[in-house]
Amino acid sequence: MKSLSLQLGLGVVSTLASVHAFYMPAESELHERTIMAWPGNTHPYYAGHTGSLSLTLLVSSEQAADAQNRAQHSGQYGVKVTVTDQYDLEPWMRDTAPLFVFDEEQQSDRYGLDFSFNDWGGRFPSNNDNFARKFLADSRIPLVKAYITADGGALEIDGNGTLIAARTPILDSNRNPSMSQKAIEKELQRVLGVSKVIWIPGVKNPDVLDDHIDGLARFVAPGKIVLSRPTPCSGVWAEAYYEAKRVLSQAIDAEGRSFELIDLPEAPADNAYMITSYVNFYLVNGAVISPAFGVPEFDEAAKDILQNLFPDRKVVQVYIPEIALSDGGIHCMTQQIPAGGKENNPACLKADCR
Ligand SMILES: *[C@@H]1O[C@H](CO)[C@@H](O)[C@H](O)[C@H]1NC(C)=O
């Protein structure tokens, strides 16, 4: 049995002899805060208001004054501007930041998973591959090392035992070259608390992500998935969509359910690098923050569909022309820290721990 090294703050504090189970709550569970980053150097992105309960915005020291100034106008929701010395800070917190999990033994409030981010299969060598470790050390949240490489945007969980993922960004050689599918599944089960992994084929390389699931298929609730349907529905992305639909329509989840699948048509894209998927939304407490692409009939239709899917949440659309052209979306730029404490720990409730 692999031993688990547990890092607290800046140093390795203890090594647990036995592996215990972790559990990642669904994004729809209560959040404490959201992490976003104001990218370093030359990137022109501007995050804007997220509607989150509370936002930690990481910025470089040169941007601190500007960010503070804008944060003052962020209304009732707190934006905490945090200066980081991370060089060349990437904005894609879904992939570079840790994923946050609970454990059934409640040894800590929360843990951060380090998935050994490798710059999307080594495509953009930078030093963001140590960002998760640095973030956890700086915020004194204990680290759990996952013994596989995965981008957060490549993992979609329902919080009820099921993970869906495309094969391409995880099983292909540029992320985990020397591991078998079985070993990878086992590790995903250990760190995310899932018992079933459903693979869709995915597409290699039309974009750098190798087909992250968070632009293609998202859980609305356990047993219910919203799928992004390309417009027009032809070409390589359409094939990926049809394959995902075929696989998911035949799949059975961890609880023995078949999936209800809902289509959400994409806005037409200006070019091949533009991501116009509305399923790259981000769930915050009480709301769905979803993208708008400035194509009114598509933006409005997407808003209606999402509002029907999430009747208890307010759907807030944010116009993201720059982000969409940068091969990402709102979900890619955000990472939730779930609310801590036993009362908010679904694993603990399930296990009845105290
Ligand atoms: C799914 O949720 C139900 C209801 O909360 C629970 O009883 C069940 O154990 C969960 N299953 C898994 C695999 O997490």
Q: How many Å lie between the centroid of ligand 1 and the Cα of residue 238?
A: 33
> What pLDDT score was predicted for residue 307?
98
pLDDT tier, 4 (very low <50, low <70, confident <90, very high otherwise): very low
| Mean pLDDT across 241-257 | 98
Lowest mean pLDDT among 47-51, 134-138, 231-235: 47-51
Q: How many Å lie between the centroid of ligand 1 and the Cα of residue 237?
A: 33
pLDDT tier, 308 (very low <50, low <70, confident <90, very high otherwise): very high
> What pLDDT score was predicted for residue 74?
64
Provide the edge-to-edge strand list for the sheet that holds 54-59.
78-83, 54-59, 31-37, 335-338
Contacts 24+ apart (CB under 8 A), 39-48: 39/89, 39/90, 39/91, 40/86, 40/87, 40/88, 40/89, 41/88, 43/91, 43/326, 44/322, 45/91, 45/322, 45/323, 45/326, 45/333, 46/322, 47/91, 47/333, 48/318
> What pLDDT score was predicted for residue 351?
63
Test site for ligand 1: of 198, 253, 348, 350, most ligand atoms within 8 A of the Cβ:
350
pLDDT tier, 270 (very low <50, low <70, confident <90, very high otherwise): confident
- Predicted confidence (pLDDT) at residue 14 exceeds the cutoff of 50: no
Q: How many Å lie between the centroid of ligand 1 and the Cα of residue 325?
A: 39
Task: Give the pLDDT confidence of 317-344 residue by residue, as tens digits.
Answer: 999 988 888 889 999 999 999 998 767 7
**Mean residue pLDDT across the chain:** 85
Q: Which atom of ligand 1 is nearest to the CA of 161?
A: 13
Element (H, E) at 16: strand 11-16
Judge if the beta carbon of residue 195 lies within 6 A of ligand 1. Answer: yes
Element (H, E) at 321: helix 321-325
- Predicted confidence (pLDDT) at residue 1 exceeds the cutoff of 80: no
| Mean pLDDT across 147-176 | 94
> What pLDDT score was predicted for residue 207?
73
> What pLDDT score was predicted for residue 107?
67
What CATH number does the domain containing 289 carry? 3.75.10.10
The one-letter code for the residue type at 45 is: Y
Distance, in Å, from the CA atom of 210 to the CA atom of 167, rounded to the nearest integer, reads 9
What's the domain range around 343? 4-351
- Predicted confidence (pLDDT) at residue 271 exceeds the cutoff of 90: no
| Mean pLDDT across 62-70 | 84
What totals of helices (H) and strands (E) does the chain contain, helices first? 11, 19
The one-letter code for the residue type at 111 is: Y
> What pLDDT score was predicted for residue 79?
80
Number of domains in the chain: 1
- Predicted confidence (pLDDT) at residue 273 exceeds the cutoff of 50: yes
Question: Which range, 4-18, 113-127, 179-193, 266-280, has the best average confidence (pLDDT)?
Answer: 179-193
| Mean pLDDT across 174-199 | 95
Provide the edge-to-edge strand list for the sheet that holds 224-229.
217-221, 224-229, 260-265
Judge if the beta carbon of residue 161 lies within 6 A of ligand 1. Answer: yes
- Predicted confidence (pLDDT) at residue 43 exceeds the cutoff of 50: no
Q: Which atom of ligand 1 is nearest to the CA of 159?
A: 14
Judge if the beta carbon of residue 254 lies within 6 A of ligand 1. Answer: yes
> What pLDDT score was predicted for residue 137?
93
Greater confidence (206 vs 291) lies with 291
Q: Which atom of ligand 1 is nearest to the CA of 160?
A: 14
> What pLDDT score was predicted for residue 9?
34
Distance, in Å, from the CA atom of 117 to the CA atom of 97, rounded to the nearest integer, reads 9
| Mean pLDDT across 57-78 | 79
| pTM greater than the 0.85 cutoff | yes
Q: Buried b vs exposed e over 78-111: b needs ≥16 C-beta within 10 Å?
A: ebebbebebeebbbbbbbbbbbbbbbbeeeebbb
> What pLDDT score was predicted for residue 16?
40
Task: Give the pLDDT confidence of 111-123 residue by residue, as tens digits.
Answer: 999 999 988 888 8
